[in-house]
A and B are shown apart, each in its own frame.
Chain A
Amino acid sequence: MNIAGNSIDRGEVERFGRMAARWWDERGPMAPLHKLNPVRVGYIRDQVAAHFGRDPLTLGSLADLRILDIGCGAGILSEPLARLGATMVGVDPAEENIAVARAHADEQDLTIDYRATTAEAVAEGGETFDVVLAMEVVEHVVNVEEFVATCASMVKPGGLMIAATLNRTLKSFALAIVGAEYVLRWLPRGTHQWDKFVTPRELERAIEATGLDVIGERGVIFNPLADRWQLSSDMDVNYMLVARKEGQHAVPENAVGISE
Chain B
Amino acid sequence: MPNSQANRVDLIIGGAGFAGLALAIALRQALGERFAITVADPALAQTPSKDPRSTAIAAAARRLFEAIGVWDAVADGAQPILDMVVTDSKLDDAVRPTFLTFGGDVEEGEPFAHMIENRHLIDALVACAKDAGIDLRATAVASFDTAPNSVTALLADGSEIKARLLVGADGARSAIREHAGIAFHGWSYNQSGIVTTVAHERPHHGCAEEHFLPAGPFAILPLTGNRVSIVWTEASHEADRIVALPDEEFHAELEKRFGLHLGDIKVVGPRRAFPLGLYTARSFIGERLALIGDAAHVIHPIAGQGLNMGLRDVAALAEAIADAARLGLDIGGLQVLERYQRWRRFDTMTMGVATDGLNKLFSNHSDVLRLARDVGLGMVERVPALKRVFIREAAGITGDVPKLMRGEMV
CB distance from A88 to the nearest CB of B (A): 10
Q: Is the C-beta of A92 less than 8 angstroms from some C-beta in chain B?
A: no
B327 and A41 contacting across the interface, CB-CB below 8 Å = yes
A35 and B328 contacting across the interface, CB-CB below 8 Å = no
B328 and A108 contacting across the interface, CB-CB below 8 Å = no
B34 and A60 contacting across the interface, CB-CB below 8 Å = yes
What B residues does A81 contact at CB under 8 A? 328
Q: Is the C-beta of A169 less than 8 angstroms from some C-beta in chain B?
A: no
Q: Is the C-beta of A79 less than 8 angstroms from some C-beta in chain B?
A: yes
Consensus secondary structure, chain A interface:
helix
Jot down 14 A-B pairs with beta carbons below 8 A, ordered by A.
Answer: A24-B148, A34-B334, A34-B335, A37-B329, A38-B324, A41-B328, A41-B329, A58-B32, A80-B328, A81-B328, A83-B328, A84-B326, A84-B327, A84-B328
B149 and A107 contacting across the interface, CB-CB below 8 Å = yes
- Cβ < 8 Å to A, chain B residues 212-269: none
Cα A79 to Cα B164 with chains together (Å):
15
What A residues does B328 contact at CB under 8 A? 41, 45, 79-84
Cα A111 to Cα B181 with chains together (Å):
36
CB distance from A235 to the nearest CB of B (A): 22
Consensus secondary structure, chain B interface:
loop
Total residue contacts A-B, CB cutoff 8 A: 48
Cα A100 to Cα B328 with chains together (Å):
19
Interface residues of B (CB under 8 A from A): 31-32, 34-35, 148-149, 323-329, 333-335
What B residues does A80 contact at CB under 8 A? 327-329
Cα A58 to Cα B33 with chains together (Å):
11
Interface residues of A (CB under 8 A from B): 21, 24, 26-27, 34-35, 37-38, 41-42, 45, 56-61, 79-84, 107-108
CB distance from A89 to the nearest CB of B (A): 16
What A residues does B335 contact at CB under 8 A? 26, 34-35, 38
Cα A24 to Cα B335 with chains together (Å):
13
What B residues does A21 contact at CB under 8 A? 148
Cα A151 to Cα B334 with chains together (Å):
33
What B residues does A34 contact at CB under 8 A? 333-335
Contacts beyond the supplied A26-B333, A38-B324: 4 A-B pairs with Cβ under 8 Å: A34-B334, A38-B335, A59-B35, A59-B325
What A residues does B324 contact at CB under 8 A? 38
